[in-house]
């Protein structure tokens, strides 16, 4: 296993695998900014086994696993060796697809991977918001001095194995780009919402209300301000854990519908996401 | 060929109208990095080609014309 030192190594990996003239089977859809942070912090590694190039992002308690393979069969062969090398480590990987099952998922299940949890993408198209009737008092953009508190909340209340949490630097970039809304009362963060606008699409990344602030309409205030920020976007998207039925119900209330687009989070250990 | 490309794109993102002229599908939020990989594998299958790794660049998939130019390279 060697450290990745330049983003270009990912492009080179795609070229090498594609040159086998077979297929391109991958779960790696890299965000350059994010990957460059991992590289700068020496957290990103690669290993080539047969016709598969793996990338691993080291986290405190687990590795996030990405692969670029020439076929399911080659992946199947190469995984055996990888699993021996990492038998002591927790490996987590995401497979995004439009079906509930697939040969690709079965490759991992046949190698004793388990389903940790699954997420579904929800969207809302051409939604019109009546902004005049909605109060967003107390909601503002986060600033640099909120960074540590926000990072602590994220890592305390979200599941980092399931939800691909940003590190402090990435969250800092979002704050700098004015992509983080917070609700603050008496210097305490009661809730926050992280979003991004890419083209005409508004992505909701994280939406959180602190338990001490529940039933105070903090969540809806944050959400309405988010809608206000994205009022020109014609498509709103986000991922939600499928077992979280209450959240799905709440999003449906806001006009979202479930897509046939799923993210299966797999692990080589016998662990499960807990609500 | 154009109608086949549009059919492939519609299959990936049925919620958008790919017949409408768009400068850049990615910047317009109509395709993301996940879709690009799906698009490459679908184009490989539908047109019975194997797009080189060196050609998997966002600019080759930014609109119908750029995809057509790419595919023409493989049909020669």
**Residue A166 CB contacts under 8 Å (≥ 6 apart), including other chains:** A34, A154, A174, A194
SS3 call for B31: coil
With residues binned 3-state (H G I as helix, E B as strand, rest as coil), the percentages for chain B, rounded to 5, are 60, 0, 40
Of A18, A24, A235, the CB nearest to B29: A235
Q: In which domain, by residue range, is B63 found?
A: 2-75
Contact A26 B37 (CB under 8 A): yes
Per-domain boundaries in chain A:
2-89, 127-233
Instruction: Report, in angstroms and rounded to the nearest whole number, the Rg of chain A calculated over CA atoms.
Output: 20
CB of B41 within 8 Å of any CB in chain A?
yes
- Domain count for chain B: 1
pLDDT of residue A200: 79
**Residue A119 CB contacts under 8 Å (≥ 6 apart), including other chains:** A162, A239, A240, A241, A242, A262, A263, A265
> Distance between CA atoms of B59 and A76, rounded to whole angstroms?
32
pLDDT of residue B76: 61
Task: Tell me whether 0.85 is exceeded by the ipTM.
Answer: no
Interface test with chain B among A9, A24, A102, by most B beta carbons within 10 Å: A24
Taking contacts as CB-CB distances below 8 angstroms, the residues of chain A near B63 are: none
Contact A31 B40 (CB under 8 A): no
Q: Would you list the DSSP string of A195-258?
A: EEEETTEEEEEEEEE-GGGTTTTHHHHHHHHHHHHTTT-SEEEEEEETT-HHHHHHHHHTT-EE
pLDDT of residue B15: 78
Interface test with chain B among A199, A201, A234, A260, by most B beta carbons within 10 Å: A199
Q: Which of A104, A114, A181, A112 is CA-nearest to residue A146? A: A181
Matching residue, tokens 């130019």? B69
Residue A258 burial (CB count, 10 A): 15
Chain A residues near any Cβ of chain B (below 8 Å): 11, 14-19, 21, 23-24, 26, 29-31, 96, 123, 125, 198-201, 233, 235
**A-B contacts (CB, under 8 Å):** 49
Matching residue, tokens 């297929």? A23
CB of B31 within 8 Å of any CB in chain A?
no
* A93-102, A161-170, B10-19: least confident range: B10-19
Interface test with chain A among B17, B34, B58, by most A beta carbons within 10 Å: B34
Of B34, B36, B41, the CB nearest to A96: B34
Kind plus residue range of the DSSP H or E element containing A270: none
> Distance between CA atoms of A119 and A131, rounded to whole angstroms?
30
pLDDT in tens, A2-51: 999 999 999 899 999 998 988 889 999 888 889 999 999 999 999 999 99
Matching residue, tokens 């497979």? A95
Q: Does domain A127-233 have CATH number 3.40.630.30?
A: yes
CA A188 vs CA A35, A198, A212: distances in Å: 32, 30, 10
DSSP 8-state class, residue A86: T
pLDDT of residue A129: 67
CATH number at residue B58: 1.10.1200.10
Write b or e for each residue in A140-149: b if 16 or more Cβ atoms lie within 10 A of its Cβ, otherwise e: eebeeebbeb
pLDDT in tens, A96-149: 988 888 999 999 999 999 999 999 999 988 777 665 567 788 999 999 999 999
Spatial contact of A22 and A71, defined as CB atoms under 8 Å apart: yes
pLDDT of residue A181: 97
Contact B50 A201 (CB under 8 A): no
- Of A56 and A216, which is predicted with more confidence? A56
Taking contacts as CB-CB distances below 8 angstroms, the residues of chain B near A198 are: 29, 32
pLDDT in tens, A178-231: 999 999 998 899 999 999 988 778 899 999 999 999 888 999 999 989 988 888
**In chain A, % of residues over pLDDT 90:** 72
pLDDT in tens, B40-58: 989 998 999 989 888 988 8
> Distance between CA atoms of A196 and A230, rounded to whole angstroms?
9
Q: Would you list the DSSP string of A173-203?
A: HHHHTT-EEEEEETTEEEEEEEEEEETTEEE
Contact B29 A200 (CB under 8 A): yes
The mean per-residue pLDDT over the stretch A254-267 comes to 93
């Amino acid at each position: 296993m060697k450290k990745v030192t330049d983003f270009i190594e990912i492009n080179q990996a795609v070229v090498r695998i594609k040159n086998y003239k077979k297929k391109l089977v991958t779960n790696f859809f890299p965000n350059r900014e994010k990957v460059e942070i991992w590289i700068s912090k020496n957290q990103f590694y690669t290993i080539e086994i047969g016709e598969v190039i793996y990338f691993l992002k080291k986290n405190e308690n687990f590795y996030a696993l990405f692969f670029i393979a020439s076929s399911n069969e080659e992946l199947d062969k190469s995984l055996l060796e990888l699993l021996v090398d990492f038998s002591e480590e927790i490996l987590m990987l995401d497979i995004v697809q439009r079906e509930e099952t697939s040969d690709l998922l079965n490759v991992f299940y046949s190698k004793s991977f388990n389903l940790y949890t699954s997420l579904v993408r929800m969207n809302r198209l051409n939604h019109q918001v009546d902004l005049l009737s909605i109060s967003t008092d107390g909601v503002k953009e986060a600033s640099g001095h909120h960074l540590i508190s926000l990072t602590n909340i994220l890592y305390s209340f979200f599941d980092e194995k399931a939800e691909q949490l940003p590190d402090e630097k990435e969250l800092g970039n979002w704050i700098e780009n004015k992509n983080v809304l917070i609700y603050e009362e008496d210097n305490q963060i009661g809730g926050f919402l992280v979003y991004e606008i890419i083209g005409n699409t508004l992505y909701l990344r994280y939406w959180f209300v602190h338990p001490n602030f529940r039933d105070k309409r903090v969540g809806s205030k944050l959400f309405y301000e988010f809608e206000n920020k994205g009022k020109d976007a014609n498509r709103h998207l986000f991922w939600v854990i499928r077992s979280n039925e209450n959240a799905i119900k709440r999003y449906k209330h806001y006009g979202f519908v479930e897509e046939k687009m799923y993210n299966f989070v797999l692990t080589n250990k016998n662990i499960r996401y807990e609500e | 060929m154009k109608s086949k490309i549009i059919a492939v794109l519609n299959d990936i993102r049925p919620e958008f109208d790919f017949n409408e002229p768009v400068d850049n599908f990615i910047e317009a939020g109509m395709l993301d990095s996940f879709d690009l990989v799906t698009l490459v594998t679908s184009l490989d299958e539908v047109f019975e080609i194997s797009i080189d790794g060196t050609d998997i660049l966002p600019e080759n998939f930014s609109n119908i014309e750029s995809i057509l130019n790419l595919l023409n390279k493989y049909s020669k």
